Amino acid sequence: MALEAPAASGVAGRAKATRVVASHISVPRRVAEIWRSRQLLINLVSTEIRVKYKNSILGLVWSLLAPAMALLVYAIVFGVALKNGYPEFVILLFSGLLAWNLFQTSVLAATGAIVNNAGLVKKVSFPREILALASVGSASVFFFFQACVMVIFLVALHWRPAFGELWLIPVALVPLLVLCSAMAIFLSAVNVYLRDIQHLTEVVVGSAWFWACPIVYSFAHIVEPKLSTHHILGIPLIWIYFLNPMVPIVLTFERVLYAKTGLVPLTTAGHTPTQLLPTWGSMTYVELDAIVLGVSLIFLYVAMVVFGRLAGNFAEEL
């Protein structure tokens, strides 16, 4: 560096950004700082991927084992043992799991992100949100690997997804990533103060929330007929089911990848053809995902505000 003329000749003249350290920094300002630190985000994600996969292809295979096992178990339990009779059930399962795994991996990893990086948080200054976002980032990379496996599955099983509706995937992916980021930022901050949030998240996101999504069962076959006839305080139960923001996202993935929107003949004998996916048109999915996006954006803003309030004391709480 000393050999470079501009650097050696002085720093007085160059343009300088002003940075303020205060107890409250507005959300737009923090967003700007996160944007400025995007290189750090990329590096943290690649570090996490590198460390996890130990720079090897085999490491990648290992990391795919857990979701593969989940897929296998659900396929055997529901498809074989309980004989739900859905044709190519594994495709329906995989399309839902694909979206779900992105959500679960990022939220679970992000909850501990600040606490696990205490050394960094105490000694180096950078927008702390980056740590939570890095968890979402590495979960996204992981999502990409699983999507590649999904493609192999589709080809191997000669399954034809709805190519005409492929654009719905990004329509669902954007609200999903916003939702993940909001959850990640919120939980990572709260976990610093309430350490058992980690365990709570594992229980809630790890199981209860999963079963509240139409992944191992079909929405149109199981949920819709049962819940639309019941009411609580005059509200149809199906509405409450849709309070789960993951439902529209999972349904969109299934719509595109499983693609059987009509009546499907079940493989088990004695059953009449059944509706597995909703009969909605594409625009219904877009509308539902847009609602999720809107709600997630509000949640993201709230998460940023909460994070901002709590972040000031991270270094002393850890």
Partner 1 sequence: MGNIAVEIQDVSKRFRLYHQKYTSLKERVIHAGRTPYTELWALRDVGFEVEEGQTVGILGRNGSGKSTLLKCVCGVLQPTEGQVVVRGKLAGLLELGAGFQPDLTGRQNIYLNGSLLGLAKSDIDKVFDDVVAFAELDQFIDNQVKFYSSGMYVRLGFAVAVNVDPDVLVIDEVLAVGDERFQRKCLDRLKEFQNQGRTIIFVSHSPDQVRAICDQAVVLSDGRMVGHGAPGEAVRIFREHLLEAGDILALGHGDDEAAPADEVGPIAVSTTDSSHPIRITEVTVEHPGTGERPYLITGERLTISLQYSAASITTASFVVEIRDDLSKVLLRTESGDLGAPLEIASGTGTVSFQWATFPFLDGVYHVSAGVEHRAGGRLYDWKESAAKLEVMNPTKNVGLINLPVAVTLVPDR
Of the pair 126, 159, the CB lying nearest partner 1 is at: 126
The answer to the question of residue 2 lying near partner 1 (CB under 8 A) is yes
8 binds partner 1 (CB under 8 A): yes
| C-alpha span between 136 and 115 (Å, rounded) | 16
C-alpha 6: how far from its chain's center?
45
Task: State which of residues 5, 18, 58, 272 lies at the interface with partner 1 (CB under 8 A).
Answer: 18
What gap in Å lies between CA 302 and CA 297, rounded to an integer?
9
Nearer to partner 1, 51 or 298 (CB): 51
CA distance 59 to 50: 9
Give, rounded to a whole angstrom, the gap between the first and last alpha carbons of the chain: 37
Name which of 175, 179, 188 is nearest 127 in CA terms.
188
Residue nearer to partner 1 on the CB measure, 115 or 178: 115
Stretch that binds partner 1, among 132-140, 175-183, 190-198, 211-219 (CB under 8 A): 190-198
Q: Going by DSSP bridges, is the β-strand pair 263-264/274-275 parallel, antiparallel, or unpaired?
A: antiparallel
Lay out the site mask for partner 1 across 107-136 (x = CB under 8 A, - = otherwise): ------------xxxxxxxx----------
Would the CA dihedral through 57, 59, 61, 67 be positive or negative?
A: negative
Of the candidates 19, 83, 226, 231, which one interacts with partner 1 according to CB under 8 A?
A: 19
Query: Judged by CB under 8 A, which of 31, 37, 237, 275 binds partner 1?
Result: 37
Q: Are 303 and 186 in contact (CB under 8 A)?
A: yes
Q: Which long-range contacts (CB under 8 A, 24 or more apart) does 300-303 make?
A: 300/178, 300/181, 300/182, 300/185, 301/27, 302/182, 302/186, 303/181, 303/182, 303/183, 303/185, 303/186, 303/189
Annotate each residue in 282-311 with x if it binds partner 1 (CB under 8 A) or - if it does not, as one string.
-----------------------------x
Residue with tokens 């509308």: 287
CA nearest to 311, candidates 162, 188, 182, 142: 188
**Residue 16 interacts with partner 1 (CB under 8 A): yes or no:** yes
Nearer CB in complex with partner 1: 155/208: 208
Measured from the CB atom, the residue of 118 and 286 that comes closer to partner 1 is 118
58 touches partner 1 by CB under 8 A: no
Distance CA 52, CA 108 (A): 15
Site size for partner 1 (CB under 8 A): 50
Nearer to partner 1, 200 or 305 (CB): 200
Considering only 44, 246, 292, 303, the residue that binds partner 1 (CB under 8 A) is: 44
Q: How far is the CB of 2 from partner 1 (least distance, A)?
A: 7
**Residue placing its CB nearer to partner 1 in the complex, 270 or 316:** 316
Name, in order, each residue with C-beta under 8 angstroms of 90's C-beta and a sequence gap of 6 or more: 71, 75, 79, 153, 157
Contact set with partner 1 (CB under 8 A) = 1-2, 4, 7-12, 14, 16-23, 25, 36-37, 39-40, 42-44, 47, 50-51, 54, 119-126, 193-197, 200, 311-313, 315-317
